[in-house]
Chain A
């Protein structure tokens, strides 16, 4: 089961691009990388998922290097409403023991 390491907290300002990096040195061949966002008193919400290279959707981009031992979630031009906890998960999605970990608390300042 791949373990992930990500910063405990980050601060940024409105309008900036925010990059949150996650380390997963023992990622397995079948594992995908998934990021969730959680606001206070709510359940997590899926943001993006990828296997390798780059994935982009309307919310974020996910960069995965060739060795797949890390990944970077990129949030373009953040706003105050992006203040949340961001979780990096690694797993094959069929294995149900997906570990959320402590996540990264992102605080956006005006």
Chain B
């Protein structure tokens, strides 16, 4: 089993609240990713990082922001949650070399009311 953790697993929050989704991995992986996935739909890459102090935007435009101050930690923040942010958020990590595989966390299911 991969050592990548996400908290909370489920979150129901009201519109306008600031939220931070946590993602941590203990594998020492340099690369980390955030994906967004609606039920029954495809995954969309929203953020990724090559390592500490590196953050990049993915293919799907997102109002969320990320930071990478420590190798093992890659939190995602929404400054003002809206119902359109309701989705599942999946964090993943991989080693920084070719042909590596991504290890996914269990996900956070976010509902904004």
Contact = CB atoms under 8 A, between A and B. Distances in A.
Interface of A: 32, 34, 36, 41-46, 49, 87, 92-94, 96-103
Interface string B30-73: 01010100000111010010100000101100000000000000
A97 B58 contact: yes
Interface of B: 31, 33, 35, 41-43, 45, 48, 50, 56, 58-59, 88, 90, 92, 94, 97-107, 109
Given A96-B56, A100-B42, A100-B43, A44 B104 contact: yes
Contacts, number: 55
B98 A99 contact: no
Nearest to A99: B59
A34 B103 CA distance: 13
Contacts of B109: 41
